[in-house]
Amino acid sequence: MGKCDDVEQRIQSLCDEINQHNQNYYQYDAPQIPDSDYDELLRELQALEFQCPDLIDRESPTQRVGSAPLDSFEQVEHQVPMLSLDNAFSDEEFEAFNKRVTDKLGLADDIEYLVEPKLDGLAISLMYENGVLVRAATRGDGRSGENVTENVKTIGSIPLRLKGEFFPERIEVRGEVFMPLAGFDQLNMNAEVSGEKPFVNPRNAAAGSLRQLDSKITATRPLAFYAYGIGVLEGWILPSTQKELFECLDNWGFPVCDQLTVVTDMKNCHLAYETLANKRSLLPYEIDGVVYKVNDYSLQNELGFVSRAPRWAIARKFPAQEKMTKVNGIDVQVGRTGAITPVARLEPVFVGGVTVTNVTLHNEDEMRRKDVRVGDTVIVRRAGDVIPEIVSVVMEKRVKNTVMFSFPEQCPACGSTVERSEGEAIARCPAGLFCSAQVKESIKHFSSRKAMDVDGLGDKIVEQLVASDLVKTPADLYGLTKEELSGLERMADKSANNLLEALNDSKATTLTKFLYALGIREVGEVTAGSLARFFGSLEALQLASVEDLEKVPDVGPIVAQHVIAFFELEHNCEVINDLRERGVNWSDTCIEPQGVQVLSDKIFVLTGALSAMTRDQAKAELQALGAKVTGSVSKKTDYLVAGEDSGSKLKKALSLGVTVLAEQDLLELLEKPKG
């Protein structure tokens, strides 16, 4: 014990010294000592901690080397959703965004924007409590992500403990994990030497490294991090501007990008974009555009959010990269709703950071317009650096005797006569679930994460199940046996048991997820939620008329007709009945079956912990009554629901004169007679 007492002071001194060197290296790009000297300090610390393991602190620099492998990643719910950004691809589109901002704010003066590079990496959320990193999570679907805390701890540029004393009691710092180009090149060189497959681009390398179940592997990867914003904030007053927040992040020990600038008028906004576009090839990391954020936080709060993105920020993407290649063939794919889509099979071409081999031609009209033929040389680009597309045919290189592709009159999967409704560009196979191709795609959709969320039911397994006639409808999934699953390729007894358990777990769902899983045309996740909240039960929805459906937010005449048509098909109703008989269940909300919206246009914010229900449940019930539930308090907020341990949102609500409701007030509000 005395021996450990003797080394405790030295351990603390080494930790402080190494952490300072880490900050110099990762944050300021200004190392003060050679790598060999740094390694010597680290080895000394490791030796001392080995002698006195009781003195090992979880924030020690030695704890960045990784821990034991995980079986899987835990799911983490984001208290404040991690939203995406809308995109602009031209000066005109950015100017239209700026006009929307100024019009909504009612301002004639120029808005001040903070401009930063759009890093091509992986968004990450870092939660700190009393200055200590307690959790790290990926963006995921924006509502929930994967817990990658142990992996993030191996990234030297991310502080395990915040610097200084004046930091929030609880703060969620958001930023981008990326792989610098030099590190990426070295990683691929090492892979080639060892005979391993190299990574395609730095983003894939960063994402793959961060999602390793063995954090010791992550520790060997050259990952970096830049902070760019915050989510949860408690016990601290937000500064007035985004720029001031970056200064605070820097003071707390976070690396922030050194390419930030603040501009006001359109001329300078465009100049900032051009400056970064010209610097793009010189930067030590990849960027795919520029992000503009309204600098003033009070204006950000006033602008608010749409369903998937903030109104106060936009990503201006760089022009897509283009390459020439050849069309080796054209065939058609049959989608979940029977859509017949022509697809060009290309000579593989590396463009925009990925190798492109297949490109959709969308529909027959689009294919005819571009006149794409087998044997043509075409220009391929990744629109917005995301979706590959054929821009045009290089007519000068067209070989003789090429012929226009003949669009099929019969479905290639089942032979049914292809139909094309008047006014629609898409041709479809009308056979529905009697078409094997549509069955496969329907099952894949039904079991996907946002639908029934059947863990382990991948595309390959679905294809085998359909090909062997074990599954013809989604309901058949719940009748599968261990013996049937064990007979599939690469499906051992343990995997079969796991899949059966996942299928059983998926039976308990929600009406929203079930409606989305059914795959009704034009009914996505948001519309499914609107239908569930409005009608409250499946039976009420099935009895609804077109007029009833058109009263639902997000539902117009076309979607209403698709819903009616779906439930009119006897086969679909039989599948639904089979699913319910096999145990698929949910709790009907029945909050407002008549669509009465007693809280219509009222804006609520939820904060703190509730005891009678989760915040998500409270949000769903408020939305069912027509309320809008947002994540931040502003002068437009009507009510703040304050649970236990409410923080800065409560203080802000009181300062703005917003009505504050305790949990009991909320329960009484939800129990009031409707209508």
Q: What is the pLDDT of residue 592?
A: 43
CATH code of residue 24: 1.10.287.610
Q: Is the pLDDT of residue 663 over 80?
A: yes
Q: Helix (H, G, I), strand (E, B), or coil: what is residue 448?
A: coil
**Which tens digits make up the pLDDT trace of 158-208?**
999 998 888 999 999 999 999 999 899 899 888 888 888 888 778 888 988
Contact 498, 454 (CB under 8 A): no
CA distance 78 to 411: 44
CATH code of residue 660: 3.40.50.10190
Q: What is the pLDDT of residue 593?
A: 41
User: What is the domain extent for residue 651?
Assistant: 603-671
Q: What is the pLDDT of residue 46?
A: 81
Residue 411 falls inside a structural domain: no
Q: Which of 113-122, 301-310, 541-550, 633-642 has the lowest mean pLDDT?
A: 301-310
**Which tens digits make up the pLDDT trace of 567-585?**
988 888 898 999 999 999 9
Segment 204-231 shows an average pLDDT of 91
One domain for residues 258 and 185: yes
Q: Which of 279-283, 346-350, 429-433 has the lowest mean pLDDT?
A: 429-433
Q: Is the pLDDT of residue 386 over 70?
A: no
Residue 213 falls inside a structural domain: yes
Domain boundary at 506, 540, 557, which?
A: 506
Residue 590 falls inside a structural domain: no
Q: What is the pLDDT of residue 320?
A: 66
CA distance 367 to 150: 49
Domain boundary at 376, 397, 418, which?
A: 397
Q: Is the pLDDT of residue 675 over 50?
A: no
Q: Is the pLDDT of residue 110 over 50?
A: yes
- The band of 68, judged by pLDDT with boundaries at 50, 70 and 90, is low
Q: What is the pLDDT of residue 444?
A: 92
Q: Which of 28-32, 216-220, 387-391, 576-580 has the lowest mean pLDDT?
A: 28-32
One domain for residues 207 and 271: yes
CATH code of residue 262: 3.30.470.30
Number of domains in the chain: 6
Q: Mark 439-451 as b/e (b = at least 16 C-beta within 10 Å).
A: bbbbbbbbbeeeb
One domain for residues 7 and 46: yes
Residue 598 falls inside a structural domain: no
Contact 615, 143 (CB under 8 A): no
CATH code of residue 370: 2.40.50.140
- The band of 261, judged by pLDDT with boundaries at 50, 70 and 90, is very high
Q: Is the pLDDT of residue 591 over 50?
A: no
Q: Mark 414-425 as b/e (b = at least 16 C-beta within 10 Å).
A: bebebeeeeeee
Q: Helix (H, G, I), strand (E, B), or coil: what is residue 177?
A: strand
Q: What's the token pair of residue 213?
A: 């179940």
One domain for residues 155 and 249: yes
Contact 160, 132 (CB under 8 A): yes
Mean pLDDT, all residues of the chain: 86
One domain for residues 388 and 465: no
The residues assigned a catalytic role are: 118
One domain for residues 229 and 304: yes
**Which tens digits make up the pLDDT trace of 405-419?**
888 899 988 888 888
CATH code of residue 446: 1.10.150.20
One domain for residues 290 and 337: no
One domain for residues 484 and 525: no
Q: Is the pLDDT of residue 623 over 80?
A: no
Residue 413 falls inside a structural domain: no
| H or E segment and range at residue 357 | strand 354-360
Q: Is the pLDDT of residue 609 over 60?
A: yes
Residue 420 falls inside a structural domain: no
**Highest mean pLDDT: which of 135-144, 191-200, 230-239, 598-607?**
230-239
One domain for residues 244 and 163: yes
Q: Is the pLDDT of residue 595 over 50?
A: no
Segment 258-263 shows an average pLDDT of 94
β-pair partners for 122:
177
**Which tens digits make up the pLDDT trace of 480-508?**
999 999 888 878 888 899 999 999 999 99
Q: Helix (H, G, I), strand (E, B), or coil: what is residue 122?
A: strand
**Which tens digits make up the pLDDT trace of 123-154?**
999 999 999 999 999 988 788 888 999 999 99
Q: What percentage of the chain has pLDDT greater than the value 90?
A: 38
- The band of 662, judged by pLDDT with boundaries at 50, 70 and 90, is confident
The radius of gyration of the chain's CA atoms, rounded to the nearest angstrom, is 28
Residue 483 falls inside a structural domain: yes
One domain for residues 450 and 571: no
Q: What's the token pair of residue 266?
A: 């359109």
One domain for residues 535 and 455: no
Q: Is the pLDDT of residue 18 over 90?
A: no
Segment 95-110 shows an average pLDDT of 91
Q: Which of 108-122, 347-361, 642-656 has the lowest mean pLDDT?
A: 642-656
Number of Cβ within a 10 Å radius of residue 123: 20
Contact 201, 355 (CB under 8 A): no
One domain for residues 107 and 232: yes
Domain boundary at 273, 294, 317, which?
A: 317
Contact 181, 285 (CB under 8 A): yes
Q: What is the pLDDT of residue 25?
A: 61
- Straight-line distance from the first to the last Cα atom of the chain, in angstroms, rounded to the nearest whole number: 72
Q: Is the pLDDT of residue 544 over 80?
A: yes
Residue 55 falls inside a structural domain: yes
Which comes out higher in pLDDT, residue 510 or 65?
A: 510
Question: Residues 6 or more apart from 121 whose CB is under 8 A from it?
Answer: 176, 177, 178, 179, 202, 203, 206, 207, 285
**Highest mean pLDDT: which of 252-261, 621-630, 641-650?**
252-261
